[in-house]
Amino acid sequence: MGIDVKRDACVGAGQCALVAPDVFDQDDDGIVMLLQTDPEGADLTAATKAERLCPARAITVTAR
């Protein structure tokens, strides 16, 4: 799997869904949800950006 999210660390800030809307969404409480686990190309680049911006460091991209 290329992406891991720690839902218990997520603070619902929504950086991920803003910079990578095809990879991340938020549930009704704002907690991150993965829309795909193995993004490629532009989605992977965006997911990496989200990883870096996430203020809770709740996102880990393992496939680089």
Residues of this chain that interact with another protein (CB under 8 A) are 9, 11-15, 17-18, 26-30, 48, 52-53, 55-57, 60
> Which residues are near ligand SF4 by CB under 6 A?
5, 10-16, 24, 26, 32, 54-56, 58-59
Amino acid at 29: D
With 0-12 / 13-18 / 19 or more C-beta atoms within 10 angstroms meaning exposed / middle / buried, residue 26 is: middle
Hunting for tokens 């993004």 — which residue is that?
A: 39
Q: Say which entry of ligand SF4, another protein, none residue 60 contacts (CB below 5 to 8 A, set by partner kind).
A: another protein
Per the document, the length of the chain is 64
Q: Which is nearer to another protein, 16 or 43 (CB)?
A: 16
